[in-house]
Amino acid sequence: MAAVSSILLPERLSSGDTVAVIAPSSPFDREKFQKGIFVLEEMGLRPLFSDGIFETRGYLAGPDAHRARLIHDSFMDPAVKGIFCARGGYGALRLLELLDFELIAAHPKVFIGCSDVSVLLNVFYSRCGLAAFHGPMMQSLGEAAQPTKQAFIDCLFSGNPVTVTAENRVVIRSGSCSGIVSGGNLTTLCHLVGTPYQPDFLGHIVLLEDVGEQPYRIDRMLTHMRMAGCFEGIAGLALGSFRDCGQPDEIYRIFDNVFDAGSVPILAGFDVGHDEPNLTVPFGIRAMLDADNGRLSYDASAVAG
C-beta neighbour count of 233 within 10 angstroms: 13
Answer yes or no: 115 catalytic. Answer: yes
C-beta neighbour count of 6 within 10 angstroms: 6
How many Å apart are CA 298 and CA 235, to the nearest integer?
Answer: 15
Catalytic residue among 118, 204, 209, 301: 209
- For residues 6 and 129, the answer to whether their CB atoms sit within 8 Å is yes
105 φ, ψ (degrees, to nearest 5)? -65, -25
Catalytic residue among 115, 126, 140, 241: 115
Cα-Cα-Cα-Cα dihedral sign, residues 264, 269, 273, 279: negative
How many Å apart are CA 245 and CA 101, to the nearest integer?
Answer: 35
- Tell me whether residue 34 is exposed, middle or buried, using C-beta atoms within 10 angstroms of its C-beta: 0 to 12, 13 to 18, 19 or more: exposed
DSSP state of 113: E
- Coil vs helix vs strand at 253: helix
Which residues does 96 contact at the CB level (< 8 Å), separation at least 6?
Answer: 119, 123, 195, 197
Answer yes or no: 274 catalytic. Answer: yes
How many Å apart are CA 289 and CA 201, to the nearest integer?
Answer: 15
Catalytic residue among 25, 204, 274, 301: 274
Amino acid at 132: A
Residues labelled catalytic: 115, 209, 274
